[in-house]
């Protein structure tokens, strides 16, 4: 049974699939477990009567939020542990902010792809740490990268040759995050153009622009941290982005 569980979890990780393991840790059926694939369902274990529709629903929600916790269901307490593949960060524009941003994102566990049509900027010397470096216009990037709910898109250039194809590609996609560099004035103009192009107000509101949290960042590295702070908040769907000394919210996710 242990080897079956280990094998199922290893399969999820090896195939970069979203899943979870639910284990009864207290009450009737203690020790019972099941490994779930978010798309295909049960991979291993025996759901039994303890794996109710409520447990299944909560497991799905925790997988989607990449969270793990222990929940109570009557006399039982069930530990639900998410197994999440590496999220993908697509960085368009290989300027000075892209360097620390891509390096910090790797430290946070992202698979990082940097793209820029300017070969003088998109070099292995400047980005030795990224998973993929693409010297091409955005259209070529989206030819072989699928945008899904684990994709975080960071647009660091508001040159129309970058911005328009990137925003067109992510329009009505399931991208988890789309952030665009630019001043407030630039973003207002961006919004006006997108609305005129048929985007809904809700779709436009999903774009994080100007990108990042207000940290009064000055340097490229500080700006990268402000962007990543916003991405972390979006990734887990939690947090106030306020100083912890000014809130009584839990410091960590439960």
d(CA 194, CA 99) in angstroms, rounded, equals: 29
pLDDT at site 246: 62
**At which residue do the structure tokens 């070099």 appear?**
123
pLDDT at site 113: 97
Q: Which two tokens stand for residue 68?
A: 């793990």
Instruction: Give start-end residues of each CATH 3.40.50.720 domain in the chain.
Output: 88-236
Cβ-count burial of 217 within 10 angstroms (0-12 exposed, 13-18 middle, 19+ buried)? middle
pLDDT at site 35: 96
pLDDT at site 69: 95
pLDDT at site 188: 94
**At which residue do the structure tokens 């940097």 appear?**
114
pLDDT at site 251: 55
Q: What is the DSSP string of 57-107?
A: HHHHHHHHHT--EEEEETTEEEEEEEE-PPPEEEEE--STTHHHHHHHHHH
3-state SS assignment for residue 233 = helix
What's the CATH architecture for 88-236? 3-Layer(aba) Sandwich (3.40)
Pinpoint the alpha helices (H) of 108-159. 138-144
Q: What is the pLDDT along the chain (254 residues), one digit of tens a residue?
A: 568 999 999 999 888 889 999 999 999 999 999 999 999 999 999 898 999 999 999 999 999 888 899 999 999 999 999 998 889 999 999 999 999 999 999 999 999 999 999 999 999 999 999 999 999 999 888 988 889 888 999 999 878 888 999 999 999 999 999 999 999 999 999 999 999 999 999 999 999 999 999 999 999 999 999 999 999 999 887 777 777 666 666 655 55
d(CA 146, CA 126) in angstroms, rounded, equals: 25
């Amino acid at each position: 049974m242990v080897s079956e569980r280990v094998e199922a979890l290893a399969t999820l990780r090896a195939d970069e699939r979203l899943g979870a393991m639910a284990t009864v840790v207290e009450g009737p059926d203690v020790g019972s477990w099941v490994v779930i694939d978010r798309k295909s369902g049960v991979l291993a274990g025996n759901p039994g009567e303890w794996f109710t529709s409520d447990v299944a629903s909560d497991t799905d929600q925790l997988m989607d939020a990449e969270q793990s916790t222990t929940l109570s269901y009557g006399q039982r307490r069930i530990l639900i542990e998410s197994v999440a593949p590496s999220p993908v960060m697509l960085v368009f524009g290989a300027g000075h902010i892209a360097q620390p941003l891509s390096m910090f994102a790797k430290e946070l566990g992202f698979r990082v792809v940097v793209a820029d049509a300017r070969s003088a900027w998109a070099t292995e010397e400047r980005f030795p740490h990224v998973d993929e470096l693409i010297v091409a216009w955005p259209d070529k990037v989206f030819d072989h990268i699928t945008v899904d709910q684990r994709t975080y898109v960071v647009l660091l250039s508001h040159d129309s040759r970058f911005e328009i194809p990137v925003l067109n590609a992510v329009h009505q996609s399931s991208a988890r995050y789309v952030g665009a560099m630019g001043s407030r004035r630039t973003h207002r103009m961006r919004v006006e153009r997108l609305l005129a192009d048929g985007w809904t107000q809700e779709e436009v509101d999903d774009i994080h622009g100007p990108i990042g949290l207000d940290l009064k960042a000055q340097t490229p590295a500080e700006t990268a941290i402000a962007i990543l702070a916003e991405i972390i908040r979006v990734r887990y769907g939690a947090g106030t982005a306020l100083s912890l000394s000014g809130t009584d919210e839990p410091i960590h996710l439960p």
